[in-house]
Amino acid sequence: MSNLTCDVLIIGGGPAGLAAARAAAQSGQSVLVLDDNPRPGGQIWRDGPGVILPVLAQQYRQAVEALNNVTLLNAVKIVAHYGPQQILYEGALGSGLVDYQRLILCCGARELLLPFPGWTLPGVTGAGGLQAQIKQGLQIKGERVVIAGSGPLLLAVANNVAKAGGEVVVLAEQASVLRLAGFAGGLWRWPTKLRQSLTLLNRRYRPDSYVLEALGEQRLEAVRVRQGRRVVTLPCDRLACGFGLVANIELAMLLGCRIFNHAVAVDEQQQTSLPQIYAAGDCTGVGGSELALAEGAIAGYVATGNREQAQALLAQRDKWRHFAGAVERAFMLNPALKALSMPDTLLCRCEDVPLGQVREFSGWSAAKLGSRCGMGACQGKICATAARHLFGWPLEAPRIPLTPARTETLVRLGRAESDG
């Protein structure tokens, strides 16, 4: 893969990245979008066999793909940042360098997965993970599916399962009835969300509920679920469990951007603490596609000097920021979830490290050195995030490479650092 240059580099091709590209392109400057998915759209607008994308997603994709000064480079991952303004990326055909003038981070978010007995059994996935598999063509017709965890994503997953022919056994939401009632009572402020919630209503929805244990020998056979004060055992074929989303901030931390409340800190213009670097979407705080679109457009306009059009979007952004705050308050995680795991429950699935072994350490670096926790394929994205939630450990600066990379890519990285 060859070296590239651009005026504006955007990391992430989800709603925020597409909106940023569309806005930045109006200046006539060259825009490059790097994304790790095979097609634009991110997780929320993930494409796949048989997927019918929302009209808005189609409009953004078509608009960006039609722009002559925008280049979309999909199925690549960011390996490192070094030098004044350079990014090293890797794809199926090799690695490449990008020289940029301004950078917009639209890195999105990932699921928070908390360990519990049996969570490593075949048949147990993240809630968003099952949704992604269905969009990629996974056949679940006739299968019994338990959906559990927290947040509005669970309703969307249940809807996908039903459309794919699966049977939703229960939709266990850990949030209390009181919090959910307060949230629902305020939805009139966001009419589109109110209408959307009505279309996603599910008769299997149970608040004050969470999975205690996944049961099975060779694969998942049943789950034990606490529903209020009682515990029930439910036979099932799949369990999709996710406890909300966490911002992807590793690249921002590597760059030296200020982090606040576990997200990239930005000002009113979506600018980070560093000049020429902006951020938008869920990496600045989880808020959904509407907020991501507004923030992405603002970042794209400001990065290319079009502050007037950015100013026109501030009220829309603030409206969806208020919604994001309401969601965060309503679905705040119950502290009881921290006590689900036993000492022999695996925390790091890649390296088979149990929770009891990791609990002995004072922080993430010590845990990695003493147990190999986080040294596997996910590079700690799952287990480190869970450990921070369970133990209250502080964030630690990431190291390069940000993701496992081929030897020739690492050699290129070494040469570039030597040249610098």
What pLDDT, on a 0 to 100 scale, did the predictor assign at position 164? 94
Residues 6+ apart with CB under 8 A from 176: 207, 208, 334
| Kind plus residue range of the DSSP H or E element containing 414 | helix 407-419
Q: How far is CA 34 from CA 37, 74, 88, 269, in A?
A: 9, 6, 11, 22
What pLDDT, on a 0 to 100 scale, did the predictor assign at position 107? 97
What pLDDT, on a 0 to 100 scale, did the predictor assign at position 380? 86
Residues 65 and 240 sit within 8 Å (Cβ to Cβ): no
Which residue positions in the chain have pLDDT lower than 70? 1, 50, 416-420
Residue with the two structure tokens 């598999």:
133
Q: What is the pLDDT of residues 138-165, one digit of tens each?
A: 999 999 999 999 999 999 999 999 999 9
For residue 195, how many other CB atoms are within 10 A of its CB?
11
How many Å apart are CA 124 and CA 146, to the nearest integer?
Answer: 10
How many Å apart are CA 9 and CA 300, to the nearest integer?
Answer: 10
> Token pair of 164, please?
């794919």
* In 177-333, beta strands by DSSP E: 205-206, 209-215, 222-227, 230-235, 238-243, 245-247, 259-260, 263-264, 277-279
Helix (H, G, I), strand (E, B) or coil at 293: helix
For residue 242, how many other CB atoms are within 10 A of its CB?
25
CATH 3.40.1410.10 fits domain 4-110+246-327: no
Domain ranges, ordered by start, for the chain: 4-110+246-327, 113-243, 341-391
Cα distance from N-terminal residue to C-terminal residue, the chain: 21
Residue 171 pairs in a beta bridge with 147, 205
Q: What is the DSSP letter of 395?
A: P
What pLDDT, on a 0 to 100 scale, did the predictor assign at position 236? 98
Q: How far is CA 200 from CA 18, 23, 166, 171, 206, in A?
A: 26, 32, 15, 12, 14
- Kindly tell me the burial class for residue 320, based on how many C-beta atoms sit within 10 Å of its own C-beta (0-12, 13-18, 19 or more): buried
Could you write out the three-class secondary structure of 157-221?
HHHHHHHCCCEEEEEEECCCHHHHHHHHHCHHHCHHHHHHHHHCCCCCEECCEEEEEEECCCCCC
Helix (H, G, I), strand (E, B) or coil at 335: helix
What pLDDT, on a 0 to 100 scale, did the predictor assign at position 43? 85
What pLDDT, on a 0 to 100 scale, did the predictor assign at position 299? 98
What pLDDT, on a 0 to 100 scale, did the predictor assign at position 416? 62
CATH 1.10.357.10 fits domain 113-243: no
Q: Is the peptide bond before 117 cis (omega within 30 degrees of 0)?
A: no
What pLDDT, on a 0 to 100 scale, did the predictor assign at position 420? 53
| Number of residues in the chain | 420
What pLDDT, on a 0 to 100 scale, did the predictor assign at position 273? 98
User: Does this chain's domain 4-110+246-327 share its CATH topology with 113-243?
Assistant: yes
For residue 360, how many other CB atoms are within 10 A of its CB?
10
How many Å apart are CA 353 and CA 30, to the nearest integer?
Answer: 46
Helix (H, G, I), strand (E, B) or coil at 289: helix
Residue 72: which of 159, 14, 131 has the closest Cα?
14
Residues 287 and 309 sit within 8 Å (Cβ to Cβ): no
Q: What is the pLDDT of residues 266-284, one digit of tens each?
A: 999 999 999 999 999 999 9
Measured torsion, CA atoms of residues 108, 339, 214, 212, in degrees rounded to the nearest 10: -110
Residues 206 and 171 sit within 8 Å (Cβ to Cβ): yes
